[in-house]
Structure 1
Amino acid sequence: MASVEKWVGFGSAMAGVGLLWSRMPEHVHEEARYIISSLVPMVMSYFNPYEQITISEHGEERYRRNKMFDAVSTYLSSVCAGGASKLKAELRNNRKDEPLITLDENQEVADTFEGARMWWRLYPKASRNKGVVTVSLMPGDADEPRCFRLVFHRRHRHLVLNSYLPSVVRHWRELTEKNRQRRLFTNHTKDRKSEWTHVPYNPPTTFDMLAMDPDKKYEIVNDLTAFLEGEDYHSKVGKAWKRGYLLYGPPGTGKSTMIGAMANFLGYDVYDLDLTSVKNNADLRKLFLDTTDKSIIVIEDIDAIEVELTTKRKGKKAANGNEINGDNHVRIEFSDKYDDKGEVTLSGLLSFVDGLWSACGSERIFVFTTNHVDRLDPALIRPGRMDKHIEMSYCRFEAFKMLAKSYLDITEHSLFCEIGRLLDETNTTPADVADNLIPRGKRNDEISQLLDEAPADVANNLSLRYKRKRDRDADECLKGLVEILKKARVESTTPPIN
C-alpha cells in the first residue's frame, strides 16, 4: 500500500513538472534543450571507458592519399588477418603462388600490444545520400572515403599514441621494403576524375647492358648516386630533394630504355604522366600529390605536348604575340601566367617541376624526353627544371660492343673493325643495330635449359654443338649487319632527287 502511494505521489509530481514546463516561454525550452544535448554526450562518455581513432583513406590535405591508411592496411593484413572471417585475395607481384590477402570491408579484427587489447574495423566507402554524417575530404566527391577505426580502453591512450601506432608504421615500412615490387603507373580519367593505375614493373635493362658511351654512362651513374646521397645537402641549401633529366635524341636511341635502367638502379617506381588525359590544373595537382616519394615522373615527347597545350590554350596563337614557325611549333614565354581552371597549362605543369608544389614530396626524379631538343623553349629546360641534359645519340663502336656482348655473347670478331668504321660513317640507332644481332634460330635461353636438363654425356655433346651454332649465329648476324650498314652509307651519300 505504501509503495502504491509513493508511485501516485511521483506521478503527481511529474504531472506538476509537465504543467510547469508547458507554461514556460519558448526561449527557456530552447536553452534547456541545448543544455541537455550538451550534457548527454558528456555523461555518456563518462560512463563509456572506450575511445576511438579514425584513419581515413584520404588525409586532411584534401588531395593527398593518407599513408597511415596504407600502413594500417598492410599491418593488419600481415599480423591480424588470421583472426578475420572475411578476407579478400588478389595476385601480387605477378607471382601466382603468392596471393595478397587483405581485410574485407566491415570486418573487425582484434590485436594485442604489450598486454593491451585493441579492435580494428574497416568501414567501406559510404554515400552521403544514405545519411552518413562525416566530412568529405575530396572536394566535389559524392562518396565518403573508406576508413579504419581503432577502438581501445581509455587507460591505454598514451600506449596507443606513443608506442602502438608508431610500431604499426615501422612494421609497414619493413614489410614494404622487404616485399617491394616496382610499379609502372599511368593516369586515366574515371568518373571525370584523373587517377593512377599501375602494373608490376620489372624493366630488364641495367646500366651494364645499356648501349652508350661508357664515359657518359659513368657520368650518369655518378650523378644518380650523388642524388641518392643528397638528402642532407638539399636540406642544407634549402632545395627540394628532386632532380630533372632531359633525354633527347632521335627515335630508337634508347630514351625509354634509359628510364628503365634508372628505375633499376634507384629502385624507384615510374609514373608515366599522360597530360592528354588530364582535364585541368586541379586534376594535375591531385595526380602529382598522389605520387609517392622515391619515384620517377616521366613526360615523354615534351616537345609535342608543349605544342598541344599552347595551341589548345590560345587556338594556334602564340602567347604574348609570339610567332608560330614553319613546323607549327609555338615558342612561348613562361612569364605569361595563365590560370584557366578548364584546362592544363604549361605554367600549371611547371609549378610541379620547379615551383611551389615541387616541394610537396621528396626524392623524386623528373624526366622529359624529346626527339627535337631544338624546338623546346630554353625556359622549359633551364637548370632547376631539367638539371642534366643527356643526349641519346646514334650507335658507335663502344655501344656496339656492349650489344654484341649482350645479344651474341662475344667480345671480339674479325668483322668488328669493319663494323666500327661503318658505324662512324652512318647514323644508325642502337635499336636498328640490336635488331640485326638477334639470332633467328632457337633462342639461347631454351638451349641453355636443354643443357641443364640433359645427362652429362649428352650435355657435353650438346654444348659443343651449341657453341658451333652460336658461332654460326654470330657470323650470320654480323655479316647481315655489315650489309645493312653498307646500304645505309650508300643512301646517306646519295644526293636527293629534285
Structure 2
Amino acid sequence: MALSVEKWVGLGSAMAGFGLLWSRMPEHVHDEARHIISSLVPMVMSYFNPYEQITISKYGEERFRRNKMFDAVSTYLTRACLDYASKLKAQLGNNNKDDPLISLDDNQEVVDYFDGAHMWWRLCPKSAKKRGDTVISLLPGDSDEPPCYRLVFHKRHRKLVLDSYLPSVVRQWHELIATNRQRQLFTNHSQEGKSVWTNVQYNPPATFDTLAMDHSKKVEIMEDLTAFRKAKEYHSKVGKAWKRGYLLHGPPGTGKSTMIGAMANFLKYDVYDLDLTSIKDNAELRKLFLDTTDKSIIVIEDIDAIEVELTTKRKGKEAPQGKDDKHVVIELSDKNIDKGKVTLSGLLSFVDGLWSACGSERIFVFTTNHVDRLDPALIRRGRMDRRIEMSYCRFEAFKMLAKIYLDITEHSLFGEIEQLLDEIDTTPADVADNLMPQGKRNGEIDRLLEEVNGASADAAGNLMLRVKRRREADDCLAGLVETLKKAKMKAATSPMDSTAQES
C-alpha cells in the first residue's frame, strides 16, 4: 500500500515538473506539439475503430466530371433499400403517370446486407454536418463537402466490399437502367456563376413512322443510325472516337426538331440541348461536355444564328443586313487569346478535337435554317458526317401526314393536292395544321349522326365513326386545297407588286 502511494506521489511530482517545464518552453514549441498531437489522434482512433469508410462523391477528384459510381449507388439504393428507409422524398415525374417517384432523403441512413455482412449507407448533401449518433456519424471526416454517399463496413469485410459488393452494385445498376431506363432531356443554365445541366424526363412523341419525309430517305437515315450503334469495334480499330455528326438544314417548320425526337426514340438516347448563349468561355464548355453521358445526342439548334457573327468576323466583313435579333445573342470569337468567350477553336475541339474522345457513343446534331452562313471548318466531313436536308412538303410526305391525321390513304382530292404541292413551297407544319379537324366540324357531324335510326347500337356506332372520319377528311382536305390555292395566288402576285413599287 505504501509503495502504491509512493508511486502516485512520484507520478504527481513528475506531472508537476512536466507542467512547469511546458510553461517555460517557447510558444512555437507549443504549436508544434499541438500539431503532432492533433495528427496522432485520428491515427489512434483509426487503430481502435473496427469500421472502415468509403466515400463516393458526386464529382471526380477536382470536381470537374460527374462520378458515374455516384449514379450507380443512387439507383441501386433506391431499388434495394427503399423499404428500410424512414425518411423519403417524392416528386411527380414527367412520364404522364400519376405515380410519384420515391427516393432516399438527404442524410437518410440505410442498411444493406450482402453475404451476411452489414453495409451502412448515408447520402450526405452538400455542406453536410454530423447529425445523430449513428455508426456513420461517429466517424471522423463528416464535414463540409460536395454531395456524396458514405459506405461504412467492418474491417473484416474489406475484401468482400472491394471485390464483390461494389462490383455487384455496378452490375445491378447496369441491369436496372437497361430495363427501366427513362430518357432524359438536359439543358444548361447558369447557377452561381457556373453553367450546369438540369434535366427532365423526355418522351418525344415523334418517331420515324410519323415523320413526314420520303420513305426511302427515312430508311437510309435509320440504317445509318443502326450502323453507328453497332460500330464500337470498328471505331476502335480505325482509331476514331465513337461519335457521329448530323447537320439538319432547311427552312423553319420543316421538322428539324421532330427529327431529333425521332432519332432519340429510335436509339433510346438522352438528349442534351446545348445553349451556347449561357456559356462564358471554352473551359465552361468543356466542363459541360464532360458531364454528358454516353448514349446521348448533343444538340446545338440554329447554329447559323450564332455562327453568322463569327463568320463575318473571320472574313472581316460587315454583318448581313436584315438578320434576326437572335443572331446577336452571343458573340463568338475565332481568337484563342480571347479567353472570355467561346471561340471557334473551342467549339471545334468540343465536336471533333481532343476533348471529343472523352466519352463514346455520342451523336452531335446541329440545326440551321441557312446552311450557306456556316463556317466551312464547322461542317466539313469528319465533323458533320451527314447533311440531311429537311425540305418542303411534297406529295409523299403529305400522304404520310394524311395517314397519320386522317387515317386515309386515298381521296378524290389527292390529285389536285399533289399538283399544288409541286408548285408551292409549304412546310409540313403548315400542311399538318390544315389536316387537324376543327371542333365545329365535330359538332356538325354529331348532330347529323344523331339522326341515324333503325340500326343496332354497335352498327350505329360503327356507322357514326365512319361518317365522322369521312366528313373530317373531306373538310380538312378541302381546306388544305383552299389554303394552297391562296398561297399560289400570293406567290404569283408578289413579284408584280414588287415591280410596281420599284417603278
TM-score (norm 1): 0.86
Native 8 Å contact 1:182 1:267 kept in 2: yes
- What is residue 211 of structure 2 aligned with on the other side? 210
* 1:407-455 Cα deviation digits (max 9, x unpaired): 11011112212211221111111111111111114899xx9xxxxxxxx
Return the alpha-carbon distance in structure 2 between the equivalents of residues 359 and 120 of structure 1.
Answer: 34
Kindly state the Cα deviation for residue 100 of structure 1 after the two structures are TM-superposed.
2.0
Matches within 5 A, 1:29-428: 36=37, 39-126=40-127, 144-308=145-309, 310=310, 318-319=313-314, 322-324=316-318, 326-327=320-321, 336-428=334-426
Return the alpha-carbon distance in structure 1 between the equivalents of residues 20 and 256 of structure 2.
Answer: 87
- What is residue 132 of structure 2 aligned with on the other side? none
* 1:95-146 Cα deviation digits (max 9, x unpaired): 5543222222222111111111111122221189xxxx9899xxxxxx7311
The 3-state SS of whatever aligns with 1:197 is: strand
Return the alpha-carbon distance in structure 2 between the equivalents of residues 195 and 39 of structure 1.
Answer: 40
Q: 1:40 to 1:443 in 2, by over 3 A?
A: farther
- What is residue 137 of structure 2 aligned with on the other side? none
The 3-state SS of whatever aligns with 1:292 is: coil
Return the alpha-carbon distance in structure 1 between the equivalents of residues 433 and 28 of structure 2.
Answer: 88
Native 8 Å contact 2:302 2:369 kept in 1: yes
Matches within 5 A, 1:17-28: 17-18=18-19
Kindly state the Cα deviation for residue 152 of structure 1 after the two structures are TM-superposed.
0.9
Kindly state the Cα deviation for residue 404 of structure 1 after the two structures are TM-superposed.
0.7
Letter in 2 for 1:418: E
Letter in 2 for 1:78: R
Q: Which shifted more, 259-268 or 11-20?
A: 11-20
The 3-state SS of whatever aligns with 1:353 is: helix
Kindly state the Cα deviation for residue 27 of structure 1 after the two structures are TM-superposed.
8.3
Return the alpha-carbon distance in structure 2 between the equivalents of residues 32 and 186 of structure 1.
Answer: 53
Return the alpha-carbon distance in structure 1 between the equivalents of residues 292 and 201 of structure 2.
Answer: 16
Native 8 Å contact 2:333 2:343 kept in 1: no
- The percentage of aligned residue pairs carrying the same residue is 75
- What is residue 463 of structure 1 aligned with on the other side? 462
- What is residue 450 of structure 2 aligned with on the other side? none
Q: 1:443 to 1:486 in 2, by over 3 A?
A: closer
Kindly state the Cα deviation for residue 153 of structure 1 after the two structures are TM-superposed.
1.2
- What is residue 450 of structure 1 aligned with on the other side? none
Return the alpha-carbon distance in structure 2 between the equivalents of residues 477 and 221 of structure 1.
Answer: 31
The 3-state SS of whatever aligns with 2:213 is: coil
Return the alpha-carbon distance in structure 2 between the equivalents of residues 300 and 25 of structure 1.
Answer: 69
Return the alpha-carbon distance in structure 2 between the equivalents of residues 85 and 160 of structure 1.
Answer: 25
The 3-state SS of whatever aligns with 2:468 is: helix
Letter in 2 for 1:275: L
Native 8 Å contact 2:308 2:374 kept in 1: no
Letter in 1 for 2:479: G
Q: 1:33 to 1:491 in 2, by over 3 A?
A: closer
Kindly state the Cα deviation for residue 387 of structure 1 after the two structures are TM-superposed.
0.7
Gaps of 5+ in 2: 130-139, 447-454
* 1:264-321 Cα deviation digits (max 9, x unpaired): 101111111111122222222222222211111111111111134x39xxxxx723x5
Kindly state the Cα deviation for residue 87 of structure 1 after the two structures are TM-superposed.
1.6
- What is residue 478 of structure 1 aligned with on the other side? 477
Kindly state the Cα deviation for residue 219 of structure 1 after the two structures are TM-superposed.
0.9
- What is residue 15 of structure 1 aligned with on the other side? 16
Letter in 2 for 1:239: K
Q: 1:107 to 1:249 in 2, by over 3 A?
A: same
Native 8 Å contact 2:113 2:119 kept in 1: yes
Letter in 1 for 2:278: S
Gaps of 5+ in 1: 137-142, 312-316, 448-455
Letter in 1 for 2:385: D
Q: 1:254 to 1:24 in 2, by over 3 A?
A: closer
* 1:175-199 Cα deviation digits (max 9, x unpaired): 2222222122222112212112222
Kindly state the Cα deviation for residue 400 of structure 1 after the two structures are TM-superposed.
0.9
Return the alpha-carbon distance in structure 1 between the equivalents of residues 12 and 341 of structure 2.
Answer: 71
Letter in 2 for 1:318: K
Kindly state the Cα deviation for residue 29 of structure 1 after the two structures are TM-superposed.
6.8
Kindly state the Cα deviation for residue 354 of structure 1 after the two structures are TM-superposed.
0.8
Native 8 Å contact 1:187 1:196 kept in 2: yes
Native 8 Å contact 1:93 1:181 kept in 2: no
Return the alpha-carbon distance in structure 1 between the equivalents of residues 399 and 51 of structure 2.
Answer: 70
Return the alpha-carbon distance in structure 1 between the equivalents of residues 160 and 306 of structure 2.
Answer: 53
Q: 1:197 to 1:7 in 2, by over 3 A?
A: same
Q: 1:250 to 1:12 in 2, by over 3 A?
A: same
- What is residue 136 of structure 2 aligned with on the other side? none
Native 8 Å contact 1:339 1:345 kept in 2: no
Native 8 Å contact 1:122 1:147 kept in 2: yes
Return the alpha-carbon distance in structure 2 between the equivalents of residues 246 and 80 of structure 1.
Answer: 45
Return the alpha-carbon distance in structure 2 between the equivalents of residues 435 and 37 of structure 1.
Answer: 74
Letter in 1 for 2:374: L
Return the alpha-carbon distance in structure 2 between the equivalents of residues 478 and 175 of structure 1.
Answer: 47
- What is residue 496 of structure 2 aligned with on the other side? 496
Return the alpha-carbon distance in structure 2 between the equivalents of residues 326 and 282 of structure 1.
Answer: 30
Native 8 Å contact 1:52 1:150 kept in 2: yes
- What is residue 133 of structure 2 aligned with on the other side? none
Return the alpha-carbon distance in structure 2 between the equivalents of residues 245 and 90 of structure 1.
Answer: 36
The 3-state SS of whatever aligns with 1:348 is: helix
The 3-state SS of whatever aligns with 1:144 is: coil
Native 8 Å contact 2:307 2:373 kept in 1: no
Size of the alignment, in residue pairs?
468
Letter in 1 for 2:339: K
Kindly state the Cα deviation for residue 337 of structure 1 after the two structures are TM-superposed.
4.1
